[in-house]
Each structure stands twice: as C-alpha cells, then as structure tokens.
Homo-oligomer: A and B are copies of this chain.
Amino acid sequence: MASPTSILSLLLLAAVVSSAEVIRMYPREHLVRLDSDPECESWKFSVEVNAAGSWSSIPRPCVSFVQDYFNTGRYLSDSISVASYSENFALSVNVADGDGMDAWVFDVDETLLSNLPYYKDNGFGSEPYNETSFNEWVYKGLAPVLPASLTLYKRVKKLGFKIFILTGRAEFQRAITEQNLIDAGYSGWEKLILRGHQDEGKKATLYKSEKRDELVKQGYRIQGNSGDQWSDLMGFALAKRSFKLPNPMYYVS
C-alpha cells in the first residue's frame, strides 16, 4: 500500500488539476505553500476524526511531529480542552436530584493513565505494537496520571456520577491496574471492568459496547464516556455524550 504521505502528494496534485477543470476556481490563497509539517498535521486530523480507520504505526516522516506534539504541551492542552467540555456537560446533568444511576465511563490507557514514558522509549508509536514489552511496562505500575483526566474524574465523582472504568486490559492485570490508578490519584470508582476469558479476541468496540449494555440493563444512564479511541466510544449502548481524547500514537480497533 502506498504511504499516506505519497497518497497525499498525489491527491494534492490531482486536486489542483481537477480544480482547473471547473468553472469556478477555489480561492487562490488556498493554494499557497503550506505551513511546516502540514502533511503530519493533516495525518493527525484524519487519525483523530477516525477518517484514517485502522492503522498500525505512525508514518515515519511524522515521528518528530508526534514527539513535538507531546513535548511542546499541545497534547496536554488538547486533553485539557476536551476535559473542560466534558465538565461543562457533566454540570448540565441534573445528578443531585437523581437516583444514583447516572454513570460516567472512563477508559484507562491514554485516558486516566498515560503510557507516554513507554512510548517515548519505543518511537512514539512508530514501532509496531509489541504485546510482550507493553505488558512488561504495565506490570511496573508506573504509568503517570493524565492530569486533565484526574481533575475531570474528581469533579464528575463529586457531582454524584457513578464511575465505571472500562479497559481493554485483561483480568489478570487487575491488581496492578488498580494499584497504578490509586497511585496516580484515582479512587472511589464503582467498578473496574477488564477483559475476561469470554472477551478474548473480541474487537474493542464490541467488548466495550457489551459491557456498557450490561450497565444500561442494570438501569444506569450512561451520561458521559471518556476515551482516547473511537472504539471506546462507538458501537451500541452509547453514552449521551462521548469525549474523544487525543492519541496520535496508536489505534485500537
């Protein structure tokens, strides 16, 4: 398969050619030279709005772009922005008068916790996923908090939402995941849901939809859902509002 970069170059050419065929040209200033790294910005755009679909590693020309995205604070800023909109929505839900059945679902990796120290040592997502080495990292229990998520988590909990933590991590990683969450500052969740034997091999969208559906069948109203993957947020038994956190490092289908 051609790389996204070469496809982009071809399409840019095609777009310029085809725009000449039509009677009304696109405004000329749209064809000026692009900013630095526009192709990586656009790759990130497609990835974050899920237009890119399934992908296995970041394009090699975008490794330093992704590194800069984390190191210059853009990542932190984006996650804070999403958290602020999440909180605005949480404040609009009338939880106080409720029956204790208003729920908020949080994912773990790249949502409550950050695996950035691991990905920093492994090419920021430019290397293929290595389950063995990632699991070794998980077992250290050293994933730092994503600060905006901790702030949101505490406020959502204080508002009276029941918190469900729904992760693609496996049941055998329960103890270390709990400990890592506690060490990172999280507490007071209703339930931590991990993949059991019956969930092995299921796509994340299906596994997470089924687990949300179980909550709905127990009478919970899933108001908010925070996750860095579209597979955290799509499928069925959807939350009233879903909040996509940034993650230009990897894709989970």
Interface residues of A (CB under 8 A from B): 1, 4, 7-8, 11-12, 14-16, 18-19, 21-27, 29-35, 38-39, 41-43, 45-46, 48-53, 70-78, 80-89, 114, 116-117, 120, 142, 144-148, 150-151, 154, 183-185, 241-244, 246
- Number of this chain's copies in the assembly equals 2
Which B residues are CB-close (under 8 A) to A78? 41-42, 45-46
- Shortest beta-carbon distance, A10 to chain B, in Å? 8
CA distance A183 to B23 in the complex (A): 6
Q: Determine the distance from Cα of A230 to Cα of B249 in the docked complex, in whole angstroms.
A: 23
Least CB distance from A15 to B in Å reads 4
A51 cross-chain contacts in B, Cβ below 8 A: 81-82, 85-86, 243-244
Assembly CA distance A33 to B70 (angstroms): 12
By the criterion CB–CB under 8 Å, are A150 and B22 in contact?
A: yes
Contacting pair A145 B26 (CB below 8 A): yes
Q: Is the CB of B80 within 8 A of A12?
A: yes
Please indicate the chain B residues that have their CB under 8 angstroms from the CB of A76 in the complex. Answer: 15, 26, 30-31
Q: Please, which residues of chain B bring their CB within 8 A of the CB of A142?
A: 24
- Asked if B147 and A15 sit within 8 Å, CB to CB, the answer is yes
Which residues of chain B are within 8 angstroms of A74 by Cβ–Cβ distance? 34-35, 38, 41-42
* Best-surrounded residue of A23, A26, A31 (most CB of chain B within 10 A): A26
Please indicate the chain B residues that have their CB under 8 angstroms from the CB of A145 in the complex: 19, 22, 24, 26
From A73, A88, A242, residue with most partner B Cβ within 10 Å: A73
Question: How many angstroms between the C-alpha atoms of A51 and B27 in the bound complex?
Answer: 30
Q: Which residue of B lies closest to A25 (CB)?
A: B144
Q: A26 to B81, Cβ gap below 8 A?
A: no
A142 to B81, CA, bound (A): 36
Q: Which of B4, B73, B83, B116 contacts A84 (CB 8 A)?
A: B4
Q: Which residues of B contact A243 (CB under 8 A)?
A: 51
